[in-house]
Structure formats: structure tokens, C-alpha cells
Structure 1
């Protein structure tokens, strides 16, 4: 893997073309791999670092909040070793044990099957119409109690815990300033303190802050995002931060990468637990379908892209038809190597820990489908809701599936 160069960093916006088990209190720390055993164990005893081998340039799968359509056999068919999801930190955690939450339960199951796991804590204040809790308030105490419940269920069992999902999108616009930083920093300090007290001799679970959005725009680069990175850099207990580059081009993704790589300290890394060209797909939902596709499948030539996808949702296509639809679409076909190019960009920095890509088409992707529905449904590796099963095989987005497999083999 090539080290990051100043020339690469300056040009990265166009560079597209460029476990050890956790040792509970009183037990002996396990040694790490790929780093100095003495250094790892010394840091672990101080509570400043976990034990075990740190990830480096890995590519896994992401199910977000809904693992219902994800089968471990299908994950294994991709040669993936990492699985990621998030849990909403809502009042549902007050009513049901965290270990029974769908995302957490599936990740714990994955861990038991020797997959490596990432859990993100999602605080959906904007969706709930809530303001950020103030430190010392009853609302903050409620949030920290939920955090503790999740930590009791997952600390030492997950490989990575990410504090926050998309904080700058999940907080009211008028609070995306230092108030946001104060809340998430307080939660992070609480999680760090929990891990130090519960696992003084080292812990399998690594901690990240996540995830920064819209770093390809001026609006996404604010004093609050700068403070976010500064906080990560000054906390030795934090391994790094997460980014979610959902973009319209690889050049835009390069701006994300340049932002974090140029600011993170040399001993910090980044995750990319979500990434895609969904912003590009969205621009073309109103396009007419390709003439060749209309002729081959006897579809009215004035049919729009979003309508074809809607037809596939209503009555899943044969695999060949779905492949043809994408291959014949001039907005999709030129980007068939996107996954390969994006991972190359991430890995060439030398600072990627893990990236995870959408694994299945989940129910929310098709619910309320229409001309203005964001086309997340085009991203996943498995096209399980737009392609029918054939010979027992689940449908797939073939170009992503094949690229993903090749990227596992090449790393």
C-alpha cells in the first residue's frame, strides 16, 4: 500500500482516477497481531487502546438498521469478513433489552460466527423532533442510560463501536454548531470511561466517532466539523472517525478523503461505513429509458427510469433483464468500476481501517417508491427486491457483486 503523498492529497478531488476477545476485569490481556505486542498491551492496561489486531484497508458489508434480508451464507459468498449496522438510541431501548434489538442481535450473531463487527450508535434527534440534550439534564441522563444498556450488551463483543451515525444530519439545522460537539464529546467521554472501568486490562472493542457527511460541499465544512476532527485527534482512546461519502462523482468523494486525511493525526484512521453514488443516480430518475432497452423488452419509449425500477419492485425481473437495464443506461454503465475505484482511493491513503458497502435492498428502500424517492435501491450488492430468485440464487447487482469479490481477493 502506497503512503499518502502531498501531491496525491492536493489532487485527490480528481483522484477518482487516481480479535482477540475482550478481557474483562481481572483477566490476562491477549496479544495483538501486526504490531508491537508490548506496546499494545501497555496501552491496553492504561485503558488507552484495545487489544488485538487493528483493521487495515478492509472491505465489509453494511445492513444499516435492517438485517432482515441479510443471510450469513450470502455474506460468506462475497468473501466478506466485516458486518456493520446501527442501532437507533430511542425509547425502544427502554422497553426492550438492547441485546434483543434487531441490529444488535444480528451483529452479536455475526460475531459468534467469526465475522468482525461494527455497531454505530444513532441519535435521531431530527426525526424525533427533539433538541440536543444539555449536559447535566434529565434528557442527557436518559441518553446515557440507553448508552450504558447498549454498552453492557456489546462492549467486548463488537470489534468497533462508532459513537454517532450521521450527527450533522440527525440534529436540527440550528444546532449543528458547538452544541452538537458538546453532546457527542460528552457521550464519547462516557463511553471511554465505561470501557476503562469495565476492561482495565484491554478490550477488543475499538472506538471511533462517526460519521461526517457532505464534506464535498462548503456547507459540510464548518467550525463544528473541524472541532470534531480535533477532538478525535486529542483523544488517544479514539482510533479515528467515520465518513459517509454518498456523492455524485468520485471527484466529490476525493474531497471527503482529502479533508480527513489532511487533518487526522498520523496514528489515526478512518472508516467509511457507508458510501455510494446515490446522488448521481438521483439526478437521472426522470430520464427516459435507453432506446435499446425499450426495444428489447417492449417497453414504451417514453418510460422513465424511476418507472422501470418501480416495475421491478412490483414484479421482480429476471437477472438478465436487471443487468441489461443497468448496462444499457448511460448514467450507470460508465460507472461500473465505481466500487473498485472508490476502494482504491480509500486504500491508497494508508489510513483506511474498514469500509462497508450496502449488502441487501432493505424494505425502506422500496417503501413509497416514486419519481422523487432517493434511489438507495440501486446501491446494494444483492438486488433481492428487484430481481427474482433463479435456481435458488438471490438476485444481485452483478457489477457491484463481482467488483466486491475481486476487491476481497486483491487485499
Structure 2
């Protein structure tokens, strides 16, 4: 049985040392799609923060050749502030018992990562979105015990290798679906209790994929009273994807159909699918979005959402999915989540700029730039 590591309050200074810590920043999230990062996009948008997620089982193919690790460290060396979410790989299954062979294998992977990133990344999120990855039936005391144990492992490694004024801050995450009362259960309560009781943890991470900005307030109402006053929160991703998805089976704008010869009976998801198969001109893509009232009326959601987060005075950094993902068009169906509409950079639905760089989403880019100030 692996000996449980206990880190005392005497190490609190290591977690809170250094005056420079993010306060209300907005950055670009790439998840594990490291090949999507184009520094031209970041420079044009003014983004100063980059987030990626690392599936730890990938390390079995070699730590030094891992694309996520190489790219997040490269971004750090280029002067970007960085967030790395650790994804332990238990999608659709249950994490192993603490002390088991499978757990020790996870610890070995974890130590390999920590040896490269501790002191180099700014925010390390322990967990990606385990409350989505692990089925509800498998989220019990052993689920909590697993994540608490790996958190202690991270804390111990940082104390050993980066104890004084360490650049790397630790967060537990990410909590999801907190707008639903049923999701605020005893497993989540224990998660928050651990965050509050562990001095080396800076706070908790959340992901707010909701229908309206107002829905995100339920997350803040829940997490903030359950943390120490000095603790902050990180938002690893946020969107109004529920609203985008709800409208995918709606009729396309009449003026758009007339101008571009689309069938009057076409639905929005079919237009998005067509754009992924053969990219539209930037003008055509912008017209489709701007003529869609359900999106045009929410084109300032980025600014509105950031105001909700910043008004708490306790946001460290929030990152939004920066580019359209690499999912093929044939995966898009009437009921599929419409993530393609949420990205700041339109790498697939619109043709590239003359210089080869990707186009920006007309609805989000101006507010994204303004929020960097």
C-alpha cells in the first residue's frame, strides 16, 4: 500500500508565494489538440494565456515525444502564461483503488509529467473533467479518494522540487453541470471540502457549458462559499453550447437561403455540416451567423460571461475553446452538440486568410481582444 503523503500547513507559503498570479485573465484553450495552435492567431487576438489538457495514458508512448507537453512548454518558453489540465484517462470507467498496481502506474506517469512541467506551467489542474469522464454510478468515496491521493502526490512533488516561490499553482477540477441541483451531491461536496481543507490547493476549476450566461451563476453561488476567502477559481472552458445545439434543427435564415441557393427547408445543422465539408467564404460564414437571431442576439456572450466571472473578484483565469476542433463533418448530426459555433478562430467553416492564417469568428473576436486589456 502506498504510504499516504501528508503535507502540512507549513508549506502554505509555497502555494501562495509570489505576488504575480492571474486575476481575471482570459485565454485560449486547445484541450489536447496541440496541432491546432497557431501563434499568429494568438498574436492577432492579443491572447496571453494558453491552456491544454494532457491524457496521461499517452505518456506510455514516450514522454519526450508527447505533443501536448512539447507544445505547452514551447508556449511557456515563448512567454505565454499556461494552464495544463491532467486527464487521468478513466473515461467511461472507474479510477483504480489507491495503492493498487494500476494506481501506482498512474503515479509513475504523473511523476514523469511533473518532472517536466513543475515550475514551468503557471496553473496545473488536477483532473480534466472527471465528473463527465467517470460514470455517475462510479462516483463514490473511492472516486474522491483517488483524486485526493493524486493531488497529494502533486503537492509532495512540488514541495520537493519547487518549494520556494514556485510558479506553478494547483487547482482541482473541473466541476461541471452545477446549474443542475442533482449534480451538487455528496461527491461534489467532498471534493470542495478537500479543496478548502488543503492549504496547497489554490482553488477549484469549473467548466460552464450552459444555455444562458445567467445559468453560470449557479456555479459561483455553489463554489465560492465552499472555499477559503483567498482561494480563486479557474474556468477551463465555457460556452452557450446548449443554446447553439437547441437551434441546430431550426430553419436557416431566409435571406441566406435566397442569396446562396440553399433549400428553404434546410436546417442549421446542415449548413454547419456543409461548411465543414467545403469551407465557406468568410463573408458567407459571417452572414449565416449574423442572420441567425439565436446567435446574433448573444454575440456579446463572451463579454457578458467574463463580467460575471470577474465581478466575483476571485477569477484567476478563464479559457475558451479557441479553434474549431478537428472532428470530421460526418460526425455532425441534428442532435450533436454544436461546438463548432463557439470557437474564436474559424479554422474549418471559413476559408483561410490570404496569408494562410485562419479567420476569426465575427461574433467573438472584438470582445475577446477588448477583454485582454
TM-score, normalised relative to structure 1: 0.85
Q: Deviations over 1:290-309 (max 9, x none)?
A: 11211122211100100000
Q: Which residue of 2 aligns with 1:103?
A: 68
What is the DSSP-based 3-state SS (H/G/I as helix, E as strand, rest coil) of the residue aligned with 2:345?
Answer: coil
Q: Equivalent residue for 1:68?
A: 35
CA contact (8 A) 1:245 1:272 kept: yes
Contact 2:235 2:319 in 1 (8 A): yes
Contact 1:168/1:212 (CA < 8 Å) preserved in 2?
Answer: yes
In 2, Cα distance between equivalents of 1:45 and 1:371: 50
Q: How does 1:9-408 map to 2 (within 5 A)?
A: 47-51=14-18, 53-90=20-57, 92-97=58-63, 99-127=64-92, 130-364=93-327, 366=329, 368-392=331-355, 393-408=357-372
* SS of corresponding position for 1:143: helix
In the TM superposition, what whole-angstrom CA distance separates every residue of 1:100-127 from its partner, at most 9, and x where no partner exists?
A: 2111111100001000001000123124
Any conservation in 2 of the 1:63–1:360 contact (CA below 8 Å)?
yes
CA distance in 2, matches of 1:298, 1:94: 51
CA distance in 1, matches of 2:342, 2:12: 42
Report the Cα distance in structure 2 between the residues aligned to 1:352 and 1:287, rounded to whole angstroms.
36
Cα distance per residue 1:198-246 (max 9 Å; x no partner): 1232311110001000000022111111111111111110100100000
Alignment-derived partner of residue 6 in structure 2:
none
1:44 and 1:50 in contact (8 A); partners too: no
In 1, distance between residues paired with 2:211 and 2:12? 45
The alpha-carbon distance between structure 1 residues 286 and 46, as it changes in their structure 2 partners (threshold 3 A), is closer
Whole-Å Cα distance in 2 between the matches of residues 271 and 142 of structure 1?
Answer: 28
Give RMSD over aligned pairs.
1.7
Task: For 1:271 and 1:121, locate their aligned partners in 2 and report how far apart those are by CA, in whole Å.
Answer: 14
Change (3 A) 1:46 1:243: closer
SS, match of residue 86 in structure 1: strand
Write the distance in 1 (CA, Å) between the matches of 2:287 and 2:167.
45
Distance across 2 between alignment mates of 1:274 and 1:170: 15
Specify the alignment match of 1:38 in structure 2.
none
* Unpaired runs of at least 5, structure 2: 1-8
Quote how far apart the aligned CAs of 1:95 are. 2.4
1:66–1:139 distance in 2 versus 1, CA, 3 Å: same
CA distance in 2, matches of 1:250, 1:226: 24
2: distance between equivalents of 1:240 and 1:223? 18
How far, CA to CA, are the matches of 1:200 and 1:70 in structure 2?
31
State the shift of 1:283 in Å. 0.7
Report the more deviating stretch, 271-280 or 166-175. Answer: 166-175
- C-alpha change, 1:365 and 1:67, in structure 2 (3 Å) is farther
**Does structure 1 conserve the Cα–Cα contact (< 8 Å) formed by 2:11 and 2:200?**
no
Q: How much has 1:48 moved relative to structure 2?
A: 4.2
Long gaps (5+) in structure 1 = 1-41
Does the Cα contact within 8 Å between 1:50 and 1:206 map onto a contact in 2?
Answer: no
- Does structure 1 conserve the Cα–Cα contact (< 8 Å) formed by 2:12 and 2:200? no
SS at match of 1:332: helix
For residues 341 and 113 of structure 1, the distance between their equivalents in structure 2, rounded to whole angstroms, comes to 30
Runs of 4+ in structure 1 deviating by more than 4 angstroms, as ranges, are: 42-46
CA shift in 2, pair 1:191/1:355, >3 Å? same
**Other structure's SS at 1:257 match:** helix
Give the 3 Å change call, closer, same or farther, for CA 85–365 of structure 1 in structure 2. farther
Paired residues of 1:131 and 1:172 also in contact (CA < 8 A) = yes
Q: Is the 8 A contact 1:366 1:377 kept in 2?
A: no
Q: CA 1:46 to 1:338, structure 2 compared with 1: closer, same or farther past 3 Å?
A: closer
